[in-house]
Amino acid sequence: MLPSTAFTLLWSLALFTLASLSLLYILRCFLHFNMVKDEFLHHVGVNYLFAPWISWLLLLQSTPFFMPGSNYYLALWWFFVIPIVALDIKIYGQWFTKGKRFLSAVANPTSHLSVIGNLVGARAAAKMGWSDSSICMFSLGMAHYLVLFVTLYQRLPGSDRNIPAMLRPVLFLFFAAPSMASLAWNSISGTFDKSSKMLFFLSLFLFMSLVSRPTLFKKSMKKFNLAWWAYSFPLTALAIASTEYAQEVKSSTAHLLMLVLSTLSVVVSLILMVFTAFNTNTVLPKDDGLQSPIDTGSPV
Amino acid sequence: MESSEHLGLSNQDSPEVVPSLIKFIDSNEVVGFDSDEDKNLENQYQTGFHSLTPSATETETAAVHSQSGHSHQRTCSISISMPSSPLEVHEQNSKRVLFRDHDEQIFNNRIAHSYVPSTNGGTKQAKFLSAPIPAGSAFDEAVALGLFPNRPVLPPKNPRIERLKDTRFDSFKTWSGKFEKQLSHLRGKPRETGPDANSPRKVEVETLPVDRYFDALEGPELDTLRPSHYVEKLGHFCFHKVPAYKPGCKPHPVVHSCCSIVAIVFVIYMLKVIFYFEAVRREYYHPIRINFFFAPWIALLFLAIGVPPSVAQNLHAALWYILMTPIFCLELKIYGQWMSGGQRRLSKVANPSNHLSIVGNFVGALLGASMGLKEGPIFFFAVGLAHYTVLFVTLYQRLPTNETLPKELHPVFFLFVAAPSVASMAWAKIQGSFDYGSRIAFFIALFLYFSLAVRVNFFRGFRFSLAWWAYTFPMTGAAIATIKYSNEVPNIVTKSLSVILCVIATLTVTSLLGTTILHALVLRDLFPNDIAIAISDKRPKTTRKWFHRRTVSSDKDIENYLKFSVSDGNDIEASLAPPSSITTTSIQNSGTAGTHSNQSPSGPEP
């Protein structure tokens, strides 16, 4: 049990980081709108547009400063969920209507981020007690998760183009989505019931499946790159889900699992922070690592 | 002595066996036939052939031609277009083809291969070699009579062993080398030593009873043999023998017989693993056969589910963990391959037999829930459900990148029914009652059953094979699920449905059992040689232009099948290098007359 001050400190640190990052991105929107547009048009970059909203929602859920039922919480929830829904409408609609951006052409593991966005919004809503909006977001997320899961598993020919080898760490997002879904359903139904357990087990299985294939990640692990941060969030989500699971099923194996996963996620996050600190010069290259297929050749 | 035998035979044989043929055989015998060297062999064939023409008279050869032509027409579609190595330009001359027609006569149709060029259309194809395939009683007679002269001169004792010992097929050797010498010494046979196995054999000799093809091979171009290897299929056979829910059967003898069958099959397969590890490895790389690695574990799970109370009241939970561990490891490997494997991605390899890899999850969940375990069954149910969704969608899509399943394998479409029915039973056990989730799964299974059952033509037109055992497990699974459902919702419709389905399932099982025994022991055409896994690692330089009536896609299929054998280093999932001594290409290039040809005689392929 961390003392609450330590928790508040950590949370404030996270808030500060996120706030500064958001500010920087707002500046980028104003000053380098071309680059933002390019990100929007890129099949991988577009999914990361969900990332700030996800982060804000996660921060909102864990805030120590006001309770979930309060008006602040409500207002902020609306503020963060509306962009997610707007992006949903745009991107999911593109999946099955826009020729150049059909799902079969653009599907890649980072598309899970859109699903995760919905699920995080669902969880935040459920914590408020708004069951209908939470179920709405949840069903949105799960329906598209189903489609995405199948598409990614099929690995239709040509889909290899979508992920360069350096971005293989994003494969970890495969098990981030079911973990978040398990947590969301846990919040919606009140207990860690069978569906949550099933989602958690699916996530665990996918995690083990990926971890037992180190050769997949060999190429991307040769040198530190920003994609390594893709490891952190899924591991943390899985660890949180395992915590909920262990609380429900009070068995020794569950607790052991929780311990292992939590340790792993903390260690990985720390290592990533250290690596990033030592490699700040390489982390921010002159241009975006991704070459947009519809690159307009914007100057940096 | 051999020659005198042959000459003696020539008098007794039917007119179709031509004296000149026998002379031809003779000359080959003399010249040191069946030596280790391929080149020698080829030369002999050529010289033999050439020696024939000067020795035979015009009329004789004409007679031969005409008779073999007649025989061609009489036989079922021959088209033994077996691809040989691309390096052999003159393979067509040296091909020796063995035909078998309806009258079950075997004649060495060496002359007939002069037709082969026309059959082939004169194109250079990558040919392939098959081991001589056991063809049944007539074949055995022929071997015994020495009519099959490419054997070493040995007493005709066990034709099957003779066939296995044919060393010209050592390039496809799956026999573990170290045991070879010892065993052959034990048998007292002279054995060729290693070098011939290691030399890159451009083997161009084929001995192929025609019917064997259609029994043995399937695939758009008759590429693979029955995917259901006999060992795994006998595991299937044990599935439906679980008597737990069948009314009116005596458990003990059946269970004990099942256990003994499973034990026997296990022992046989362990022996295969030890002695023919190469074959097992190649089966692992085969897109259809890999799924059958689950079969023994599923069979054991069902046996554990169905163990009668008098034999064992409470099975220990450790048994469940023991049984599920291999399934879990296989799953990790195979599902991961679907997701990340280059050559073995799901969009390419998806076929209904993949259901076998999913059903194992549900069966494990069912057993675990019956034992009273809580979390483990849910784990496997969740994993199975998620991957079942993926597979179901993929199979329903029938993606263009997905090769069409050959007609011989249509029985495995019934596996569509197996997964939801077992899932409904598993969920009912987990939940404690046949609730909505179970009912949804059950109705899906029922719908698929009916929609497949009314497609009579889809399941007709191919001869009996071990693939037919794919009918049994889904039918019995559906029957059992219906019984459980009718227990929950007892009315006249459900009860009659359960009775009907049980009767159908029982009839299917018994008739299949009878037919299998008939074919295995009486007709002896059930266990062909395992060509399907004799795949090379090199693609042919020439593209083949075979006719295959069955499928639309041609070269793409070949590429797909070939790719399964090629490990080009880009495939993350390819762990080991395929055997390098094989230079001939994979079997599908043999593809010829479609499936219908085994029914009606037709001329050789143009």
pLDDT at B295: 87
pLDDT at B495: 94
Please give, rounded to a whole number of angstroms, the shortest distance from the CA of A277 to a CA of chain B.
Answer: 32
- Give chain B's end-to-end CA distance (angstroms, integer): 40
Nearest to B360 by CA among B411, B442, B415: B415
Instruction: Please state, in angstroms and rounded to a whole number, the distance separating the CA atoms of residues A237 and A181.
Output: 10
Residue of chain B minimizing CA distance to A248: B375
Report which residue type is found at B277: F
Q: Let me know: does A235 contact A184? Beta carbons within 8 Å.
A: no
Please give, rounded to a whole number of angstroms, the shortest distance from the CA of B176 to a CA of chain A.
Answer: 30
Q: Let me know: does B210 contact B593? Beta carbons within 8 Å.
A: no
Look at the alpha carbons of B314, B320, B321, B326 in this order and tell me if their dihedral is positive or negative.
positive
Chain B residues within an 8 Å CB radius of A157: 347-348, 401
pLDDT at B523: 76
Spell out the domain ranges in chain A: 26-163, 164-280
DSSP label at residue A215: G
SS3 B88: coil
For chain A, the residue count is 300
Chain A residues within an 8 Å CB radius of B386: 149, 202
Chain B residues within an 8 Å CB radius of A149: 386, 389-390
Q: Let me know: does B129 contact B94? Beta carbons within 8 Å.
A: no
Out of B346, B382, B394, whose CB is closest to A202?
Answer: B382
pLDDT at B61: 42
3-state SS, one letter per residue, for B442-491: HHHHHHHHHHHHCCCHHHCCCCCCHHHHHHHHHHHHHHHHHHHHHHHCCC
Q: Let me know: does B519 contact B467? Beta carbons within 8 Å.
A: no
Sorted by sequence, the CB contacts under 8 Å of residue B510 that are 6+ apart come out as none
Residue of chain A minimizing CA distance to B392: A150
CA distances in angstroms from B356 to A210, B156, B273, B461, B465, listed in the order given:
22, 41, 21, 25, 19
CA atoms within 13 A on the CB side of B138: 14
Chain B residues within an 8 Å CB radius of A208: 332
Whether pLDDT at B441 is above 70: yes
pLDDT band of residue B3 (cuts 50, 70, 90) is: very low
- Confirm or reject contact between A174 and chain B (CB < 8 A): yes
pLDDT at B528: 65
Cβ count within 10 A of residue B292: 22
- Confirm or reject contact between A219 and chain B (CB < 8 A): no
- Confirm or reject contact between A213 and chain B (CB < 8 A): yes
pLDDT at B163: 47
| Burial (Cβ within 10 Å: 0-12, 13-18, ≥19) of residue B213 | buried
| Burial (Cβ within 10 Å: 0-12, 13-18, ≥19) of residue B275 | middle
In the structure, how many helices (H) and strands (E) does chain A have? 12, 0
Q: Let me know: does B40 contact B32? Beta carbons within 8 Å.
A: yes
Task: Determine phi and psi for B99, rounding to 5 degrees.
Answer: -115, 155
How many pairs of residues across A and B have Cβ atoms under 8 Å apart?
79
Instruction: Please state, in angstroms and rounded to a whole number, the distance separating the CA atoms of residues B249 and B261.
Output: 18
Out of A146, A155, A194, whose CB is closest to B378?
Answer: A194
Report which residue type is found at A166: M
Q: Do A153 and B382 touch (CB under 8 A)?
A: no
pLDDT band of residue B219 (cuts 50, 70, 90) is: very low
Q: Which long-range contacts (CB under 8 A, 24 or more apart) does B553-560 make?
A: B553/B220, B553/B403, B553/B404, B554/B220, B554/B221, B556/B403, B557/B220, B557/B221, B557/B223, B557/B403, B557/B404, B557/B588, B558/B221, B558/B586, B558/B588, B558/B589, B560/B348, B560/B403
Cβ count within 10 A of residue A137: 27
Please tell me which residue, B287 or B68, carries the higher pLDDT value.
B287
Report which residue type is found at B462: F
pLDDT at A40: 87
Question: Mean pLDDT for chain B?
Answer: 64
- Confirm or reject contact between A152 and chain B (CB < 8 A): yes
Out of A194, A216, A249, whose CB is closest to B572?
Answer: A216
Chain B residues within an 8 Å CB radius of A198: 378, 381-382, 385
Please give, rounded to a whole number of angstroms, the shortest distance from the CA of A24 to a CA of chain B.
Answer: 36
Chain B residues within an 8 Å CB radius of A162: none
Q: Do A194 and B390 touch (CB under 8 A)?
A: no
Q: Do A153 and B390 touch (CB under 8 A)?
A: yes
pLDDT at B388: 93
- Confirm or reject contact between A212 and chain B (CB < 8 A): yes
Q: Do B339 and A194 touch (CB under 8 A)?
A: no
Residue of chain A minimizing CA distance to B389: A150
Please give, rounded to a whole number of angstroms, the shortest distance from the CA of B395 to a CA of chain A.
Answer: 10
Q: Residue B99's beta-bridge partner residues? A: B107
Instruction: Please state, in angstroms and rounded to a whole number, the distance separating the CA atoms of residues B16 and B25.
Output: 15
Instruction: Please state, in angstroms and rounded to a whole number, the distance separating the CA atoms of residues B43 and B49.
Output: 9
Out of B346, B348, B383, whose CB is closest to A205?
Answer: B383
DSSP label at residue B537: S
Please give the ipTM for the structure prediction: 0.82
pLDDT band of residue B507 (cuts 50, 70, 90) is: very high
Sorted by sequence, the CB contacts under 8 Å of residue B230 that are 6+ apart come out as B466, B526, B527
Instruction: Please state, in angstroms and rounded to a whole number, the distance separating the CA atoms of residues B357 and B288.
Output: 11
Tell me the pLDDT of chain A (300 aa) as tens digits: 567 888 889 899 999 999 999 999 999 889 988 888 888 888 888 899 999 999 999 999 888 888 887 888 889 999 999 999 999 988 888 887 877 777 777 888 889 999 999 999 999 999 888 888 899 999 999 999 998 998 888 877 766 666 787 888 888 999 999 999 999 999 999 999 999 999 999 999 999 999 998 888 888 888 888 888 999 999 999 999 999 999 999 899 999 999 999 999 999 999 999 998 888 877 666 555 554 444 444 444
Q: Let me know: does B211 contact B135? Beta carbons within 8 Å.
A: yes
pLDDT in tens, B313-339: 777 888 899 999 999 999 998 888 887
Look at the alpha carbons of A124, A125, A129, A132 in this order and tell me if their dihedral is positive or negative.
negative
Q: Do B347 and A197 touch (CB under 8 A)?
A: no
Q: Let me know: does B139 contact B525? Beta carbons within 8 Å.
A: no
Superfamily of domain A26-163, CATH level 4 = Voltage-dependent anion channel (1.50.10.150)
Nearest to B254 by CA among B231, B238, B234: B238
Q: Where are the alpha helices (DSSP H) in B38-169?
A: 38-55, 58-74, 91-94, 115-120, 137-144, 159-164
Nearest to B143 by CA among B168, B114, B166: B166
Q: Do B336 and A210 touch (CB under 8 A)?
A: yes
Residue of chain B minimizing CA distance to A254: B375
pLDDT at B206: 40
Instruction: Please state, in angstroms and rounded to a whole number, the distance separating the CA atoms of residues B472 and B494.
Output: 21
CA distances in angstroms from B241 to B178, B307, B322, listed in the order given:
39, 11, 22
Q: Do B346 and A216 touch (CB under 8 A)?
A: no
Task: Determine phi and psi for B7, rounding to 5 degrees.
Answer: -65, -40
pLDDT in tens, B396-415: 877 777 777 777 778 888 88
pLDDT in tens, B525-582: 766 665 555 555 544 444 444 444 444 444 444 444 444 444 444 444 444 444 444 4
Please give, rounded to a whole number of angstroms, the shortest distance from the CA of A273 to a CA of chain B.
Answer: 28
Q: Do A215 and B572 touch (CB under 8 A)?
A: yes
pLDDT at B480: 93
pLDDT in tens, B12-49: 444 444 454 444 444 444 544 444 444 444 444 444 44
Chain A residues within an 8 Å CB radius of B576: none
